[in-house]
Amino acid sequence: MTGDAAPLVEDLLALSAHDAPSGDPAASAEAVEWLAGRLNELGARVSRHAVSTGVVLDGRIGPGGGPPILILCHYDTVWPAGTAADRPAREEGGSAHGPGVFDMRGGIVAALAAVERAMPLERPVRILLTPDEETGSAGSSELIAQVAGDAAVVLVPEPPLPGGALKTSRKGWASYRLKVAGRAAHAGLEPEAGASAIDELVDRLLDLRGLSRPDTGTTLNVGVIGGGSAANVIADSAWADVDVRAMAVAEQERVHAALTGLTSVRTHTSASLETRVTRPPMERTPAIAAAFERANKIAAGLGLELAEGAAGGASDGNLVAPLGVAVLDGLGPEGAGAHALDECVRIDSLVERTALIARLIERW
């Protein structure tokens, strides 16, 4: 392991020793304290914003005045409390392995080290560390948009595409629960007195299939369904969770309008829709295209040539791109196994991305 790599790996393993499940502030407390301590070491002016899903750490570093470089990270992971102890992070075979190392603790460690490497800073840098990205950023989205509005550029050290390409567009994500109410009755004695919520739900879900347009990147997935009380009772309630992905804002709006306009057909049934998550697509705006070209020129000074591409998953970059802000997403280190047991980060890429983010901070 090179001298540059050792402190990065040490930090990554130290951070990954702490759980941070989304929506669980108590279980995330040690991770928050570790991150706050690291920000203090950088000389940051640290604020803590209490939101409905936990604590947002807000670190301001460098001189005041002028649009800041915003580094947008999330510290929450998909792993439940106890995972860090049950499956400790480790370094092995040129990679760091463990829960959350790829999504996105490797990116956090690279970003913090990059800020340190770029000192003394010639312009302000602001780092947001949020607790709820994995579940839709319900608590932190308002603050993210507020902070990003005046940023010179937003750096998002999420994992890159395979091969290391940056993500200059991302699908939007919307999550809904479709609920149907019906009328219960005995399935044998008087089925005609009932109105099956399950039958109505199934028919409406068949209608929803027509909203997908895979050729343009618009897809709907019914991932979970439920309803009814017993096999011999006409179901008086049923529900389904629907996931919608779209590459374009217009497509996301088309599907949303169709879902909110959905009505039941059967007598004595009614349908309602609950919107749970909405993240707009991160379209490749002129600001994003220009930011990528500028980043590529800066990267050339390190002997790097950047590539770009589209991602099916969403990030907090989706929340700020519609503001017209320049966004560079996918700046984190290469690895594999996001949200999986084989999650890992390549140490050589961790070193390289740290150098790249530092150079972007210095030259932007």
28 and 111 within one domain: yes
116 and 178 within one domain: no
pLDDT at 1 (0 to 100): 59
| pTM, to two decimals | 0.92
Range of the domain at 89: 5-171+281-363
167 and 75 within one domain: yes
Domain boundary among 277, 307, 333: 277
- Residues 207 and 180 sit within 8 Å (Cβ to Cβ): no
269 and 177 within one domain: yes
Q: The dihedral of CA 35, 318, 209, 269: what is its sign?
A: positive
Tokens 């409406």, located at residue: 204
Tokens 């509005």, located at residue: 149
Reply yes or no on whether 133 is catalytic: yes
pLDDT at 2 (0 to 100): 63
pLDDT at 4 (0 to 100): 87
- Please identify every stretch of the chain with a pLDDT value under 50, giving residue numbers as ranges: none
| Rounded-to-integer distance, Cα 142 and Cα 27, Å | 24
192 and 164 within one domain: no
Which pair of structure tokens corresponds to residue 105?
């603790």
Nearest to 134 by CA among 99, 167, 163: 99
pLDDT at 343 (0 to 100): 97
The number of domains in the chain is: 2
SS3 content of the chain, % helix, strand, coil (to 5): 35, 30, 35
pLDDT at 96 (0 to 100): 98
| Rounded-to-integer distance, Cα 79 and Cα 168, Å | 27
- CATH number at 199 reads 3.30.70.360
Domain boundary among 250, 277, 304: 277
270 and 158 within one domain: no
184 and 148 within one domain: no
157 and 107 within one domain: yes
Catalytic position from the list 10, 122, 133, 305: 133
**Phi, psi (degrees; rounded to nearest 5) at 48:** -120, 120
144 and 21 within one domain: yes
DSSP per position, 210-272: GG-BGGGTBEEEEEEEEE-S-TTB--SEEEEEEEEEESSHHHHHHHHHHHHT----STT-EEE
295 and 161 within one domain: yes
- Give residue-wise pLDDT tens across range 28-72: 999 999 999 999 999 999 999 999 999 999 999 999 888 999 999
117 and 176 within one domain: no
270 and 143 within one domain: no
pLDDT at 3 (0 to 100): 65
